[in-house]
Structure 1
Amino acid sequence: MWQSESLSPRALRTVIRQQKGGIRNTSGIAAGYQQANVVILHKSLADDFEAFCGANNSPLPLLYRSQCGEWSCPPLATGSDIRDDCPEYCVFENGVLVKKVPSLSSYTPQLQDMVTFYLGCSFGFEKALKAAGVPVRNVEQGKNVSMYKTTVPCNKAGRFYCPMVVSMRPVPQHKLETATQCTHAIPLAHGGPVHIGDPKLVGIHDLSQPDYGDPVEVCPGDVPVFWACGVTGVEAVQSCKSSLAFTHSPGCMFLTDQKAETVSPVALEPAECPLTFCISQNPQHYSMASKRAVQQIQAIEELVVEDPGARGIRALFVQDELLKACLSLSHSSSVLITTGLPTHYMHNPPEETDGPPGAIAMAAMLQALGKEVVIVADERALAMNRHIIRDAVEKGVIKTAVPVISFQSKGPESALHFLCRDGDPTKPRFDHLVAIERSGRAADGNYYNMRGINIKHLVDPIDDLFTTASVIPGITTTGIGDGGNELGMGKVQAAVKAHMPNGSLIACNVAADFAITTGVSNWGGYAVACALYVLNLCPIHRRYLQRGLGLPPTPEQQSIWTACLPTVTKEEDVLRILVKYGIRSGKTANLGLEVDGLTFHPYHSDMVRRLRDLTL
């Protein structure tokens, strides 16, 4: 009885070729060696398929393209013969799988006019996972890996187009970072994960029903982790409907003689090491960024929590809320922003200059990143906010006008119908809500300014949107505040009550998923814009955001994003617009270039410059 663990890949190919040993699939054998997916096409399709691999190199990392009619694979394996060296092959006619066979020798005449593509396989990184202490459940359970078709479209090239296929390995939650770092270092075995968390987010509805391979049991505490899969090539072959084509049978790979870690070694610099963060539990969703980007955003977060007004804001601070909120915003497609704290109840309008500038700064960057953005404001201030946005567009502060709408509660289902199409919680209109310096409902149902004055008569119940969003899967919320009475700051309610003046009375009772604490709320808006910029220039985050597909940002894209960052000139222009409409400084009620009692020069202008320096 032979032991696969003790045999070299060449010896294992001999066993396979002789059809001995009952090798059903190659999962868990030839550990540490690169395995290869195989696609064999007529020579007339070869250039198109090579272009398709280049456009989708995470699922289809090209190891070798053969010459026409070449059976061997000299760079990858000695003495190989692709007609017999996989345990099983698929035969396709006009894009339809007609049979599976143990050998292609009977097709030798047709193969004379065909080209073989050898593509990287995730089996190649399984030894690295095990060596790092990450259990490989499919190997433990003696099963082929689970593979699924997703709703993620590959980039089209010539006659080839198809959805991406992914493989899934359950990973213990505390080992996620180890798993991502191990696999990122081996890009020709597909590299790092393209999705971590709820399979429905990539169109997979039942993990127990894989499209290819075997169902692998997810153990308690495991998180589903998905890697791009070379079986995408099988889907591509079906899409082109060639009169005759061959592939390996999924899981029945070609074994190369090359160590996986030497095929495409990537020495990750410590600063480029991927870090993993949970950004949602409903649905479960993780995101990634490089250590460099994370540290840059942490520095931005530390900067904006400075407290020039000596209000004791640091007591409310929770680290990495800016990072997690911006990771979530980066994955979003439609964002609802709200602002407005009518602290000056004796003036008309009662609003303050803190909030709108930060909201506009966030909206500008979100628009540049391709997100749909809507602002919801109090009905009584609707016209004024629309005029502010119009003037901001005219001044070039923001490129495109943001729709400004209102929300009125007309019953218990009002918020649900506002947030979701037809009131259906499976069809949310927005996937992220952001409140910045927005009046927040206290425990007694009233709304208070920092002096403890009830301003409920000036505030629409936009809090209802946040409380309703908390039970709708797929909607995440962020609150930005500088005192604890703002919408979303209910997440740090205990700290507000303990440390802020009038805290027991004014503390907002409505929590957001993420609560960003800043010295001035506008600074939080600027920080979000800067952090989004950093994330979208981070190669680790961009790759994960695009599911391993797509290209790095073009110089033109980066130029557009840079132009949307806050500048001293733009922020001064916004303040002038607010003063034009009679909006006053929060602490002093001065009608001038001042926010929270701090003049724009030097306080706020200096903050904008320092943020840009950290970001750029």
Structure 2
Amino acid sequence: MVTSQNVMGFLSRAAVRLRTGLKYSAQTFMKPGYQQANVVILHKSLADDFEAFCRANSSPLPLLYRSKCGEWGCPPLATGSDIRDDCPEYCVFENGVLVKKVASLSSYTPQLQDMVTFYLGCSFGFEKALRAAGVPVRNVEQGKNVSMYKTSVLCMKAGQFQCPMVVSMRPVPQHKLEAATLCTHMIPLAHGGPVHIGDPKLLGIQDSSHPDYGDPVDMCPGDVPVFWACGVTGVEAVQSCKAALAFTHSPGCMFLTDQKSETISPITLEPAQCPLVFCISQNPQHYSMASERAVQQIRAIEELVVEDPGARGIRALFMQDELLKACLSLSHSSSVLITTGFPTHYMHDPPEETDGPPGAIAMAAMLQALGKEVVIVTDDRALEMNQHIMRDALEKGVIKTAVPVISFQSKGPESALHFLCRDGNPSKPRFDHLVAIERSGRAADGNYYNMRGINIKHLVDPIDDLFTTASTIAGITTTGIGDGGNELGMGKVKEAVKALMPNGSQIACDVAADFAITAGVSNWGGYGVACALYVLNLCSIHRRYIQRGLGLHPTPEQQSRWTACLPTIAKEEEMLHILVKYGVRSGKTANLGLEVDGLTFHPYHSDIIQRLRDLTLQAA
């Protein structure tokens, strides 16, 4: 049936066929508002492998149609089409090498009789949706083809096909990031939502001013580079398989279909489908995303861990979404350093308190389950004790795999840099995230104080130096977890500590972290991190994003492993028994028993742990 819609597509394709002698750009013959397709043409012997490759990498290669062998048209997508002439320009590959570009494939008709054509979704198909959402499309404004880059991200292999993913980049004003993400996320046949927002180097793109395909597109003040998976990945795949003869569209010169570009109304989306965008680093610039539903759950977790049954007034230090942003950053990390240890009981041996180590181990367990490398750093004088605590935690099933426990000793101004970076080279950090939980923090006068204002500097190693040095190294993010304001990292809220906490002007930690998580008891902040990481990794929007659009849904085995690493009443009670065995005491009262910060394990801590589990397991 001929409709006004497919007539427009037919006329545009007819214009392509009459292009001889005309000067054309990438979009000369492209009717705005219609879906376009990338094209890959392969010998029939490779067709099944390539289809499997598309299915395994659906973000860069959303398969719209696979032709029959020797079929010129694609009836589901376009009326009266002829793939030999309906792209403005084609690439011809021999043995994986681009040998020429041609305006028509008609001269290859005999060879095409034994070939199969794949039509793949194209990001030009969502540009109408971007404009409808008020997002400027800079490449169109500048009359240029979109910028496309090869990345360091490898696609999932299928048969003879494996190659780097190609991405397209569009500069987006910072205040329009969420709109751009939302309107493209629900158009999977045009690659869906972004796979990266921020510094191109995080995708292995060293010089964004020289794209591998397309044109350099100028950024405007306030723009952020946003990257979508790109169908030109198919061109890289053709080169990787080294077929004797293959064809693709020339990048930017796509096949025009009769299908209208999709637009999605945000009001039709459920919370689990709505992506929200958050900045997690400015050095390098990096944004992450999660669904509205996951964000709501993590905010509920954050509200729970800041409850204050000890009436310490900790709510005054609270900042919303610090837990969320810290966990988004941790989810992107590969290697995490955790430090804990607050020797508040200077009259006892050991002087440590029961707040801190349980939360540290709870975080470490979940991070390990998610595939991160984890190291715990503590004071040298307490190193052997903490190694024994880790050994017992492993034997009792509190943690599944032992975490290395080490110390840091300052031997000069470069010690922290050499500890954090290989060969002291800031471009080679060993860790990409540092977390301090209930770790004594340096005050403005260089001393370390407990909540009573007693100086305990003689018991504390200068682990703060790791955080201050990390603040100067691109690619290392820091988080502090505290419940009083004198803990490492809580320098981010030091003015509130000075004004509102007892002895605040004296005890306030002066060392800030990128994120400061406030908790009623610091252990609860550690439990909250473990729970929030679980929620994020069950969020399909976040998981797709951290895997650059190439990931799979978690397997039942993975989800079971993550669930097993969540805090439980039984594990945390066992952890307290281990600490008591080594003489570690409650922080507020110095009692040697199942107590943290003056609150007995039952009912206070056990109640929080159970409520955290109930909130978290809703994500499943």
Partners of 1:265 and 1:302 lie apart in 2 by: 27
Match status 1:237 vs 2:238: yes
What's 2:423 paired with? 422
Instruction: Note the 1:466-615 alignment, pairs <5 A.
Output: 466-615=467-616
Match status 1:17 vs 2:17: yes
What's 2:149 paired with? 148
Partners of 1:186 and 1:612 lie apart in 2 by: 34
What's 1:444 paired with? 445
Partners of 2:135 and 2:17 lie apart in 1 by: 32
Partners of 1:537 and 1:202 lie apart in 2 by: 23
Q: Shift in Å at residue 296 of structure 1?
A: 0.1
- Aligned residue pairs, count: 612
- Contact map agreement 1:188 1:264 (CA 8 A) in 2: no
Q: Shift in Å at residue 26 of structure 1?
A: 2.4
Partners of 1:168 and 1:262 lie apart in 2 by: 20
Q: Shift in Å at residue 28 of structure 1?
A: 9.2
Q: Shift in Å at residue 271 of structure 1?
A: 3.8
- Contact map agreement 2:492 2:516 (CA 8 A) in 1: yes
What's 2:384 paired with? 383
- Contact map agreement 2:370 2:562 (CA 8 A) in 1: yes
Q: Which runs of 5+ in 2 are unaligned?
A: none
- Contact map agreement 2:186 2:264 (CA 8 A) in 1: no
- The alignment partner of 2:262 has SS state of helix
Partners of 1:71 and 1:23 lie apart in 2 by: 24
Instruction: Note the 1:109-188 alignment, pairs <5 A.
Output: 109-188=110-189
Q: Shift in Å at residue 269 of structure 1?
A: 1.6
Moved more, 114-123 or 20-29: 20-29
User: 1:475 corresponds to which letter in structure 2?
Assistant: I
- Contact map agreement 1:28 1:139 (CA 8 A) in 2: no
Q: Shift in Å at residue 10 of structure 1?
A: 1.7
- Contact map agreement 2:378 2:408 (CA 8 A) in 1: yes
What's 1:258 paired with? 259
What's 2:70 paired with? 69
- Contact map agreement 1:187 1:264 (CA 8 A) in 2: no
Which runs of structure 1 show a deviation greater than 6 angstroms over 4 or more consecutive aligned residues? 262-266
What's 2:299 paired with? 298
Compared CA separation, residues 262 and 425, structure 1 to 2 (3 A): closer
Q: Shift in Å at residue 261 of structure 1?
A: 1.2
User: 2:549 corresponds to which letter in structure 1?
Assistant: G
| Identity fraction in percent | 86
Q: Shift in Å at residue 260 of structure 1?
A: 2.1
What's 2:333 paired with? 332
Q: Shift in Å at residue 455 of structure 1?
A: 0.1
What's 1:197 paired with? 198
Compared CA separation, residues 199 and 262, structure 1 to 2 (3 A): closer
Partners of 1:208 and 1:357 lie apart in 2 by: 48
- Contact map agreement 1:185 1:265 (CA 8 A) in 2: no
- The alignment partner of 1:323 has SS state of helix
User: 1:517 corresponds to which letter in structure 2?
Assistant: T
Partners of 1:185 and 1:376 lie apart in 2 by: 44
Q: Shift in Å at residue 62 of structure 1?
A: 0.0
- Contact map agreement 1:340 1:438 (CA 8 A) in 2: yes
Q: Shift in Å at residue 207 of structure 1?
A: 1.2
What's 2:250 paired with? 249
Partners of 1:429 and 1:609 lie apart in 2 by: 35
Q: Shift in Å at residue 476 of structure 1?
A: 0.1
Instruction: Note the 1:276-355 alignment, pairs <5 A.
Output: 276-355=277-356
Partners of 2:65 and 2:27 lie apart in 1 by: 20
Partners of 1:179 and 1:313 lie apart in 2 by: 38
What's 2:54 paired with? 53
User: 2:539 corresponds to which letter in structure 1?
Assistant: C
Q: Shift in Å at residue 550 of structure 1?
A: 1.9
User: 1:370 corresponds to which letter in structure 2?
Assistant: G
Q: TM-score, normalised by structure 1?
A: 0.98
- The alignment partner of 2:258 has SS state of strand
Partners of 2:66 and 2:272 lie apart in 1 by: 34
User: 1:387 corresponds to which letter in structure 2?
Assistant: H
Question: What per-residue deviation string (whole Å, max 9, x for no partner) do you get for residues 535-568 of structure 1?
Answer: 0000000000000002100011000000000000
User: 1:513 corresponds to which letter in structure 2?
Assistant: D
Q: Shift in Å at residue 17 of structure 1?
A: 1.0
Question: What per-residue deviation string (whole Å, max 9, x for no partner) do you get for residues 123-142 of structure 1?
Answer: 00001100110000000000
- Contact map agreement 2:171 2:225 (CA 8 A) in 1: yes
Question: What per-residue deviation string (whole Å, max 9, x for no partner) do you get for residues 464-507 of structure 1?
Answer: 00000001000000000000000000000000000000000000
Partners of 1:66 and 1:263 lie apart in 2 by: 29
User: 1:240 corresponds to which letter in structure 2?
Assistant: C
- Contact map agreement 1:186 1:265 (CA 8 A) in 2: no
Question: What per-residue deviation string (whole Å, max 9, x for no partner) do you get for residues 192-237 of structure 1?
Answer: 0000000000000111100000000011100000000000000000
Partners of 1:492 and 1:247 lie apart in 2 by: 56
Match status 1:215 vs 2:216: yes
Partners of 1:561 and 1:30 lie apart in 2 by: 48
Q: Which runs of 5+ in 1 are unaligned?
A: none
Partners of 1:192 and 1:262 lie apart in 2 by: 13
- Contact map agreement 1:119 1:230 (CA 8 A) in 2: yes
User: 2:480 corresponds to which letter in structure 1?
Assistant: G
Instruction: Note the 1:30-45 alignment, pairs <5 A.
Output: 30-45=31-46
Q: Shift in Å at residue 264 of structure 1?
A: 14
